[in-house]
Structure 1
């Protein structure tokens, strides 16, 4: 079982219009709503790729109920921790040329609910997997991640991390099974440069030395890299007309896991599937239909660079 944990769940509200003018009434063309939060996206894509998954997270108010209702319609199992404050709604406005992103800071999570979530994690199956992705809501400090990872260590739950907080450096001491940074995060969190192949190899080796067992490095249209601390492979990307990059990284991670786990093999197909799925999502509204993955896989190549 692959569990996913989204501490800061959200509804994504994607608004499309011809133009956006200040101090004017701007008429919209259409609006799309979708359940969101990085690990929620991972769970949805895993489910669509026929992998057993269960979504954990904090959910509150009418917006939290909407997310749970939508996941139930998709027949995705959930273990919610219900809170009183309202789950955030992120707003993305596109006029066909530019995209404006308004991302909420998230609800207030009281201390007793933080404890309840830890109890939920203690109840998960031993020897399973937990994907932790996304930002922190109000009243949850970065050290909360450490509380979660300590529980997972005691239950041999293997951790996959996709977080952009600087505490990622400290979490590597728990030796997560996989981390999925992008190139910007390697720079912002670790101070590493990824302009050349040599720099990328050096950067990945450095992150391994801090404790990461495996690394999936996504670089958008520049492709992606996978390193298992012995070898490093590169997969190119397909050319698309990007509509929104909001969920592409999450979808790429889910697609990679769908092939790589549980044997931690089949990495070439896993990389191609990750790149193809990310591209298909980036050219779509929200997560889209995921209907071009097979087509794109056939256009991709994986090469070993170390």
Structure 2
């Protein structure tokens, strides 16, 4: 069973204003409301490729109810801890440019956090847990690390995708894979990466610190996979009209893990992962299985030496 953890989920309001004027009354067109958060994006991609998952985290108020209802409509199971207040709504505003306004959810308390840890008691060695995104107000950085510890104590497989400090502090629990982008990898070690050789140096440092595999996404330059066996593979990206890159990285990670669980084949898993990232980039939402399959022929995976 796949579990996804989204500690700080959101509803994204996607809206457009013609001739926007700051400080004036502006009227939008029809707005779209979509559930968001890295773990939720992963659950959505897994559902699209026929894999079941259960979404965990915190929700509050009518906005939290909306998130649960939308996941239910998609056929995705959830076990969120319900807290006081409201889950945040983020605004994605398109005018002549694109502007994002991210709000803050209500704080959780220690009882909520303890209840969340109790929800992890059902994990077994047959499960994989995606620990993604950032903490919600009311949590401490150590809580994130303790989640990783609890996952490993339960014998489950751990996948981590978060900010630099969260990733670095969880490496001692030997996650199956971490997925920084090129900028984030440099940020982790306070360096500016200027070449593939630089990427290799610091990806391997993550492995030395505990990561089993490292997938470095590079935007238009594709991705590089560093495996636990010492092999290195590169993949290009598919060509198409980009609608939104939101959730592309989450889709890539979800697809990689799911395909590797099926095949134990690193190059094939990377090919599917790159196609899934492209499918989401070319879609209004998370990419569908049909588009992923269509894009596969564009993806070339090569074994490289660095």
Query: Structure 1 length normalisation: TM-score?
Result: 0.94
Match of 1:300 in 2: 299
Aligned to 1:277: 276
Measure how far apart 1:242 and its partner are.
Answer: 2.4
Most deviating of 245-254 and 136-145: 245-254
Q: Is the 8 Å Cα contact of residues 16 and 94 (structure 1) preserved in structure 2?
A: yes
Q: Distance in 1 between matches of 2:223 and 2:211?
A: 17
Other structure's SS at 1:284 match: coil
Report if the CA contact (8 A) 2:8-2:133 is conserved: yes
Q: Structure 1 191/88 Cα, relative in aligned 2: closer, same or farther at 3 Å?
A: same
Within 1, Cα distance between the matches of 2:151 and 2:87? 26
Deviations 1:167-211 (A, max 9, x none): 321211111111111112112222244332211211211111111
Contact 2:276 2:287 in 1 (8 A): no
Partners of 1:135 and 1:165 within 8 A in 2: no
Change (3 A) 1:262 1:269: closer
Q: Is the 8 A contact 2:12 2:91 kept in 1?
A: yes
* Matched ranges for 1:236-255 at <5 A: 236-255=236-255
Aligned to 1:112: 111
Q: 2:104, 2:156 → 1: CA distance?
A: 29
Summarize deviations over 1:23-59 as a string: whole Å, max 9, x none: 2233323321111111011011101111121111101
- Asked whether the equivalents of residues 186 and 193 of structure 1 are also in contact (C-alpha less than 8 Å), the reply is no
- Root-mean-square deviation over aligned CA pairs: 1.7
1:132 maps to 131
Query: Is there any run of 5+ residues in structure 2 with no aligned partner, and where?
Result: none
Q: Tell me what 1:62 maps to.
A: 62
Task: Decide whether the 8 Å contact of 2:123 with 2:151 is kept in 1.
Answer: no
Of the structure 1 ranges 167-176 and 295-304, higher mean CA displacement relative to structure 2 is found in: 167-176
Give the Cα–Cα distance (whole angstroms) in 1 for the partners of residues 295 and 194 of structure 2.
Answer: 25
Query: Whose helix proportion is higher, 1 or 2?
Result: 2
Note closer, same or farther for the CA distance 1:131–1:285 as it changes in structure 2 (3 Å cut): same
- TM-score (norm: length of structure 2): 0.94
Unaligned 5+ segments in structure 1 are none
